[in-house]
Structure 1
Amino acid sequence: MDPHQPSSRSRVRRPLVKLASTSVNLIHRRNPWVMAWWSTAFPGFGQLILGQHVKGFVLIFWEIAVNVGSQLNVAIMYSLQGQFERAKLVLDHRWFFLYTPVFIYGIWDSYRTTVSLNNSYGMAVFENARINSFHMDSISVNFLDRRIPWVGMIYSLLMPGLGQLYVHRLVTGFFILIWWIVIAYFSHVTEAVYFTCIGDFVRAKAVVDMEWLLFLPSIYGFACYEAYITIVELNNLFRREQTQYLIEHYQSSSFPLPEPNQ
């Protein structure tokens, strides 16, 4: 058998990418510690990056609900200001001790899943898994194409979620977009930006709700990182699919290929 020709088994065993009408999901090599860090920054983010959307969405709902219930962000704010006694008083321990076990699980699950998916990715590459580059149905058209990573990051900076929409990750994009709107509303960040623009810094500081505002840096950072990395890896898959097609249809099996490092 020609080693460049994918076997029928490798085509279905470990796919590198799955295109659907509302999303695109893919596996590629990732750093387990980076995924664990994203779960530390915000439980559920590591799972979203890995393509485990249902688990990620549930953990994000849980993080926001329990964080607000325990007033953890308020306690963090007072701790950063050196007001440790006030931080201890404001923390609701009934909610906080529910927070800790799931927080630890999210970190461990991200790390473990990344290691397993890295192994699956290595086997998929070894088996030369066939890449399906086009999906069309009555709802939408989705396809692999070259996109610009910095454009996705800029969209995410304008408003989290838009970078994901740029790469047709519609479910993740709208989820992030909706949560950004909710958090921006309760934190009054748009009002603070307005007062800052007109030079009323005292009023800008007074109007902000820090309990909700502290969610925004993680969401912004995640949206930019996830959009950029996803575009880079989808571009790599696009090139890999083009290579597979050209080898299968145009390159003679008897063509002498040069040895690596020569």
Structure 2
Amino acid sequence: MKSSFPSITPNRLNPWLAVNYSLVFPGLGQLYSAFWAKGISLVLVAVVMIGYATWSIFGANGQTMRGFWTIGGFLLVYSFSILDAYRGTQPGYSTRISVPQGTNDPWYAVFLSQLLPGLGHLYLQQALAGGIFLLTGILTAWLANSMPQLVPMPPLIWVLSCYHVYVSFPHRTGYKSGAIALLIMGMLIVRLSLGLTPGWVRQAVEQCIVPSESMAPTLQVNDRLFVRRKHTYRPQVGDIIVFTPPDQALNDLPEEDLPENVDDLLYVKRVIGLPGQQIAIKAGRVYVGDLALTESYIQATPAYEWGPETVPADSYFVLGDNRNNSGDSHVWGYVPEANILGAAYKIYWPPDRVQPLAKD
């Protein structure tokens, strides 16, 4: 008796396999269909766009909005690559997409599982396996937000779901071990990279929102900053640094101004004195040793006097650019080196304020 599940001709280009490849990364579906020039071009365009978007957003001299627009352009290229991958397998480059009726194409089931783990199993009416993959994928993705050690789990579940739905597909003919292995490898690399990227970013870059006018005119209230985190960083005079406030600064704050979690409280100030340097403020000028600093960045000259005092070892003397409206080292003392997160190197938002934070 003839089977009611038609099979795919083994040597024929499968449109949903092409779609699966392009779903992993733009251009891979075209390479599968031997459209070499188009496939290589799409891969290169996607790589360049990812690199440019990353530089625009996180680079000191990059324009944040250009980065976001580039991400939008990448999504268009990505969508085009998926659609074009399907069309490239059709006679006459047909634009009509045909969704398989019934369970007659394992690669369509894999495609569904790429979208959401377990979805391909549900398409095959394998409710138990589909429910397990779906619930496990959603649960681990949710838990990974608060438990970084679980970040690799969702990509692994996605990959395992795709592989399992392929090997368990009913009435499958022409098992393509090379095709599924290549697809799984690509999925694993891309999805693990995407899952781990936020953690890599958090290790390298801290975000900070300017809470007050103490750094005006250089920084405005609600400016959003990127702070470069490096264990080897040693502040220099003129650097704008972000740090957790020392104990004396916390003691000077009114109780109603203290956040629920003090560890979330960050200060941003400019480094004026390094360990071992003598600092004095007199006659509206700041002196490091016998040298009066030239400060084009301040709101107004300081209307107070301080020092001279020598900055202790492993500590820094910091001031706000709005000298007469800033709680800083002239009020609560020095910043221990251990409190410093890093140097603020860019205002990345709002769009009209985007600029690098270079020393004057």
> Which of the five TM-score ranges fits, normalised by the shorter chain?
0.3 to 0.5
Larger radius of gyration: 2
* TM-score when normalising by structure 1: 0.34
Compare the two structures and name the one with the higher helix fraction. 1
* TM-score when normalising by structure 2: 0.26
Higher relative contact order (CA 8 A, sep 6+): 1
Compare the two structures and name the one with the higher strand fraction. 2
